[in-house]
Amino acid sequence: MKHILFEGSMEGFSISRIVRDFDYTMPDVHIHYNDYEVYYLLEGERYYFIGTRMYHITPGTLLFIKRNVIHKTGLVKEAHHDRILLEISHALLHHIFSSTGEIKLSSFFRKDCIILPLHTEEQHFIKNLLLCVSREIQRKEDGWRLLIQNKIAELFIFALRHADISSASAVPTAKNPRHRQAEAIAAYIAEQYDEPLTLSSVAAHFYMNKCYLSRIFKECTGFTVLEYLHTQRIQKARSLLVQNDRNISAVSEAVGYDNLTYFERIFKKYTGMTPLQYRKQYIC
C-alpha cells in the first residue's frame, strides 16, 4: 500500500513524503538534467544505485544527488519504507548559493552524490527541518517562499559541514557479490558508452554468459544493459547539445550512435522531445 503523507510544490521546488508497504523499485529511468535531488530515509532499508555504484541505505540516512546523474532505488528485504524526497531546480539552488557568494554550488557537488548517515540528534534536526518545509508549502502563509529558501540553505549548509566527516566512501555499498559485479559492468558501460557496445560484447569482456550477465544487472540495478547504455549515451548527448554547437549528427556519433534516425528516436523516448527541440529549450 502507498500512503502519501504530504506533497507540495512551488516554482523550482517540490517535496513529498511517501510510505510504501509493497515491493517497490523505481519503474523508469530516473535522471534529472536540471534538478538536484535530496532523499531522506526515515524507516526501512533501500538499495540506491547512483551513477555506477550501489549503496545500502538505512534509516536516518540523508542523500544529495547531483543533477544529470543516473539513480534508482530498489528493495533490500522488507518492503516497508518511509522517505521524504525533495527536487530542487538548478536555477533555484544557484540563486540560493549565489545570494552571498560565500559557497559555490560547484564546490558542493564534487561527486555524484553526498551520503550522510546521521546520528539520533541529527536525525531529529533534519526531520524537523523537512517537516517545517512541508508545513510552509501547504499553509502558504506570509513569507513562505522565503522561509523555504532559507530552510533549503540550512539543509545544504548542514550537509557541507558534515560531508568531510561522513563521506560517501564511508557508506557501506552492497556486499552481495552480484552487486559488485553489477557495479563493474556499470562502470565499464559508463566508460565505453561511445563504443559499439552490445550485450554480447559486454558479456565477452567480463567472460560471462550474456543471459546471466543480463539477469544480475537487471536484478541489482533495475536497468537492462541496453537501458543503462542508452541512458548513459542520452545523458552525455544532453550535455553536448547544450554546451556546444555541434550539429545533431555529430552529437549522435560522439555518443555512440551511427544512425541519426535511431538516435533521434531513442533521445525522444528518454526525454520526451527531439534533440533539436531539447537544444532550443535549454539554450534559449
Query: What stretch(es) of the chain map to CATH 2.60.120.280?
Result: 2-164
| Residue 206 phi, psi (nearest 5) | -100, 10
Least confident span in 30-44, 72-86, 150-164: 30-44
Average pLDDT taken over every residue of the chain: 90
Q: Tell which residue, 172, 174, 44, 51, has the closest CA to residue 117.
A: 172
What single DSSP character describes residue 13?
E
C-alpha span between 124 and 120 (Å, rounded): 6
Would you state the pLDDT for residue 223?
92
CATH number of 2-164: 2.60.120.280
* Rounded mean pLDDT, 165-181: 69
Nearest to 235 by CA among 6, 20, 34: 34
pLDDT of res. 87: 97
Between 107 and 112, whose confidence is greater?
A: 112
In one-letter notation, the amino acid at residue 107 is: S
How many beta carbons lie within 10 A of that of residue 85, not counting itself? 17
Fold (topology level) of 177-283: Arc Repressor Mutant, subunit A (1.10.10)
Mean pLDDT along residues 217-236: 94
What pLDDT sits at residue 111? 84
Q: Which residue has the higher pLDDT, 167 or 254?
A: 254
- pLDDT of 165 over the 90 cut: no
Rounded average pLDDT over 10-35: 77
Contact predicate 55/69, CB 8 Å: no
Degrees, nearest 5: CA angle 135-136-137: 95
- 15: pLDDT strictly greater than 80: yes
For residues 174 and 54, the answer to whether their CB atoms sit within 8 Å is yes
Share of the chain above pLDDT 70, in %: 91
Query: What local confidence, expressed as pLDDT, does residue 30 receive?
Result: 54
Kindly state the cell numbers that stand for 106: 560547484
Q: What's the pLDDT at 158?
A: 95
Structure confidence at residue 167 as a pLDDT band (50, 70, 90)? low
Give the pLDDT confidence score for residue 172 in this predicted structure.
Answer: 60
64-84 mean pLDDT: 89
What is the C-alpha separation between 252 and 261, in angstroms, rounded?
Answer: 9
Nearest one of 84, 106, 74, 82 to 93, comparing CA atoms: 106
Residue 68's pLDDT band, with cuts at 50, 70 and 90, is: confident
The ranges of the chain annotated as CATH 1.10.10.60 are: 177-283
